Structures are given as C-alpha cells and as structure tokens.
Amino acid sequence: MEKLLHGLERKCRNSVIIVVPSRFHGGYLITCVHNIMAPMHASNVFLYRSQKIHLSKNMLAKIEKEREDKLMKKNIFRLTVLLTILTLLLPGVAPVMAAEKTEFQCEEILVDTPNPGRWTYPNGNIHIRGMVNRYSETSTDPRMYGVNEVILNANWHEDYTGPMWGTFWLENDYGGWEGTWAGLMTVQGPRYNAVGDGFGDYAGMKLWINVHNGVCTGSILEH
C-alpha cells in the first residue's frame, strides 16, 4: 500500500488524489484527477484490495489535509491581492510619507510702527492694545525672509516687563505665514513663542518660532 501511495504522489503531482471505497470489488478505487470537472476514465483508476482499513483512513486524512492546506494558501494569496487592489483604488487611501522638518535661525529688525495702538495706565501699569509693528525678517531659511507685520497686546508693569501676545503676518514673493504668538517682556529682552500656517507656495506647512533674549530660532514642518 505504501509503495502504491508513493507512486501515486509522484504521478499525481499538482493533481487531486481520489480514494473511493469499492463495495463491488471489496477494496478501494484510487485515481488522480487533473480537472475535477472532467469525466473519469477507467484507464486512470487503480483497484486496491486490502482489509487494512486503517491504512486507507490514514491516507484519506493525509489527502484531506493536503487539500485543505492548498486551499488555505490559495485563499490567503487571493485575499492579499484583493486587499492590495482595494488599497490602491479606494479614495482617500494613499501611502503615508514622513513629513520633513527644517530648522533655521532668524533675525528681526523693527522698521516702523504704523499704529501705536491704545495705551492705558491702570494703577501705574502699562496696558497696550492693538499696536502694529513692522519688522524686516532675515533667516537661514529663505522662506522666512520678508516683512513681518505684528499686532502687539501687553499687560506690562511700570518697568515695561510682563506678559504680551498678538498675531503676525509675514509675506514675501512666494507666499508667507500667519499665526499667533505669546510670551513675556523681561529686563533681558523679549521671550515668546509663535506658531503659524503657510500660504501661497508654503500652503500646508507649519511654522514654529522661539525667541529667547534676542536669539531667534525656528522650524518648518513641510507636507
């Protein structure tokens, strides 16, 4: 029986082995079929008479396991192909690319103050609302060049120190940045952080600026 099975495995490679009990012959009909839908020819059927039923059951179990393993592999392959196609075709699904972050240094010089805003002096303190200052911005990153219009609000003490905040609008020939800022005026100089969004050629980019005692650094997060 074992020799016959080994021979069948070689002959029936890439085919289906079928073992059927034969009540008429008192044994088993064994064949290999390349196309399960094709008619079975008698010349391809082997008759094996044996009373060793346990060997036939082991063979049937082996055949069933091989069939299930092949079917599982085919199903996994088909599912992988289907998921790949869906990923490429579904709207809004695209490969995720890592955003690029660029660090830079910057410098700003006050050009003019077109609007001094409104100043009040409650209890000897200094409150400013809506002051407009224009700065000339230079940087190690050309995207940070341009004229920066800054709106300043402040609640300072009588020595001109204290919290301040506002908005900014920086523009050059290719686009620009708009955002908000907040920080403190200290005896050593201004300290503040700013965050903004790009427009024009810089649309979709994010900007962060940190100014500490006159030292300006920042970063731009690209698409």
Tokens read off for 141:
């990153």
Q: Please identify which residue in the block is written with the tokens 């609640």.
A: 155
Q: Which of 30-44, 85-99, 189-203 has the lowest mean pLDDT?
A: 30-44
Give the global pTM: 0.57
Determine how many CB atoms are found less than 10 A away from the CB of residue 105. Answer: 13
How buried is residue 28: exposed, middle or buried, by Cβ count under 10 Å (0-12/13-18/19+)? buried
The neighbouring-strand residues paired with 22 are: 27
Tell me what pLDDT residue 203 has: 96
Predicted pLDDT of residue 180: 98
pLDDT band at 97 (very low <50, low <70, confident <90, very high): low
The pLDDT score that the predictor gives to residue 123 is 95
- Per-residue pLDDT for 114 more than 90? yes
pLDDT digits (tens, 9 = 90+) for 22-32: 555 555 555 55
* Gyration radius from the chain CA atoms: 40
- Sorted by where each starts, the structural domains of the chain and their CATH numbers stand as 2-89 (no CATH), 101-221 (2.40.350)
Tens-place pLDDT, residues 159-216: 999 999 999 999 999 999 999 999 999 998 899 999 999 999 999 999 999 988 778 9
Assign 48 a pLDDT band (cuts: 50, 70, 90): very low
Average pLDDT over residues 140-144: 95
Q: Sorting pLDDT into bands at 50, 70 and 90, what band is 95?
A: low
For tokens 């903004």, name the residue: 196
Integer Cα distance of 130 and 94 in angstroms: 44
- In the predicted model, is pLDDT for residue 3 greater than 90? no
